[in-house]
Structure 1
Amino acid sequence: MAGRPREFNKTTALRKMREVFWKKGFEATTMIDLIDATGVASASLYSTFGTKADMFREAILDYNANEGGFASRALKEEPSSRTAIVRMLKDAAMLFTSWDRPRGCMIVSLGLRMGAESDDLVAWLSEQRKQRVTSVLERLRLGQDAGEIRRSTDVVALADFITTVLQGLSVQAEDGMPRERLLAVVNQTLQYYDRVTSLDN
């Protein structure tokens, strides 16, 4: 009679799988890699998380709910659109250059590294990134309605610009750009933000 599967901490196992996916990418990661990282048998991983693609999605969602949720927290918690954008971009520069995890944003970096054989996941990651454009645009529209941003400002174009910078910070960080240069990019971005949103113009 087969013994019962060994119990394990799901969150701990998920974080370890997340590290493997982030470092190696979805396609290059094997089940052997995930078993070695978690110390959990494949049958238990499958029964708990589902397929390897399901494991990957859960890892991404865990990232979004934790350190990767810095942008959502900034947009929600800050009292004005400008302070929200400042915090979001500065937090990005800090997070993307942290010494204790891979550089850059997990969603951006893995999305760029995935091949055609993972079309469903590529599309899913693309939707994750598009949601950030939407959330930035919503925050800018709230600021415009509150009188923080002048009415003539094209907030759609501004949201596209800000999220392009945000994702660019990830790419540059992954390529080794130091934190101080990323923060200099943030400062340049804020100068542009002030110029196109100022009520005095």
Structure 2
Amino acid sequence: MATKQRGRPRSFDRDTALEQATMEFWRRGYEVTSVADLTRVMGIGAPSLYAAFGDKQTLFEEVVRGYQATHGAFATRALTEEPTAREAVARLLREAAAEFTDPAHPYGCLVIGAAANCTTEAVSAALRDQRTAGLDAIESRIAADTAAHRLPGSTDAAALARFVATVFQGMSQQARDGATRVDLEAVAETAMAVWPEEPTPSR
């Protein structure tokens, strides 16, 4: 006698559904995106969403991890691959101008945009931690260059890193407000104009 198969097989592609959820959170932010919005764009019912992804918060956490590994990975690459802090930050802002205005997906940064008007403390704290990690990575590169005498000894690494992070986050919002890649590249160039000059080697 054949045994009955437990449960029903999934009738949707999980990766495709996850990408659709990513786009919805990216467009609308965390707080205003409802489960109904998610099931509509993912093309599944609420029971399927809960079974495959957990609740809305758990789904969003997976979305953010996926975003950081794909669309948002340019930031980590810029800060780890370039030989100096100046080159790392210049690349970070230049690539942000391109990524934030790419018409292939919603404008701006998902992590920055999703935090707007977010009143769910656990989500708000997690997004804040993401931003703080980015700020710390920038400060670490600047401090290392200061210690290696590639930047003046008087450089305030914390203040300069916060300036860069403020420009980066502002570029995200500007992109959402309609700024073009050319507009944001000009912002990036202006920001780099205030970068401390490399010390002149003593003879």
Instruction: Give the structure-2-normalised TM-score.
Output: 0.88
Contact 1:89 1:186 in 2 (8 A): yes
**Deviations, residues 115-167 of structure 1 (Å, cap 9, x unaligned):** x3x22211221111111110101111222233321212111111111111111
Name the structure 2 match of 1:97. 101
Name the structure 2 match of 1:129. 131
Name the structure 2 match of 1:163. 165
Name the structure 2 match of 1:58. 62
Shift of 1:35: 2.1
Contact 1:137 1:156 in 2 (8 A): yes
**Deviations, residues 62-117 of structure 1 (Å, cap 9, x unaligned):** 11111112111101111221111110000001111111111111111111232x3x
**Deviations, residues 29-87 of structure 1 (Å, cap 9, x unaligned):** 22232223223333232122211111111111111111112111101111221111110
Matched, 1:69 2:77: no
* SS in structure 2 of the partner of residue 113 of structure 1: coil
Instruction: Give the structure-1-normalised TM-score.
Output: 0.89
Name the structure 2 match of 1:151. 153
Contact 2:30 2:115 in 1 (8 A): no
Matched, 1:108 2:88: no
Cα distance between partner residues in 2 of 1:181 and 1:19 = 24
Aligned-pair identity in percent equals 37
Cα distance between partner residues in 1 of 2:152 and 2:14 = 48
Cα distance between partner residues in 2 of 1:132 and 1:146 = 22
Cα distance between partner residues in 1 of 2:35 and 2:9 = 17
Alignment RMSD, CA only?
2.0
Contact 1:5 1:44 in 2 (8 A): no
Contact 1:153 1:197 in 2 (8 A): no
Cα distance between partner residues in 2 of 1:145 and 1:8 = 53
Name the structure 1 match of 2:175. 173
Contact 2:29 2:110 in 1 (8 A): no
Name the structure 2 match of 1:30. 34
User: Stretches of 4+ moved more than 6 A in 1?
Assistant: none
Cα distance between partner residues in 2 of 1:3 and 1:54 = 22
Contact 1:8 1:40 in 2 (8 A): yes
Cα distance between partner residues in 1 of 2:185 and 2:10 = 47
Name the structure 2 match of 1:198. 198
The structure with the largest alpha-carbon Rg is 2
Cα distance between partner residues in 2 of 1:13 and 1:92 = 26
Cα distance between partner residues in 2 of 1:153 and 1:13 = 47
Deviation larger for 125-134 or 24-33: 24-33
Match 2:140 to one of 117, 138, 141: 138
Shift of 1:11: 2.4
* SS in structure 2 of the partner of residue 18 of structure 1: helix
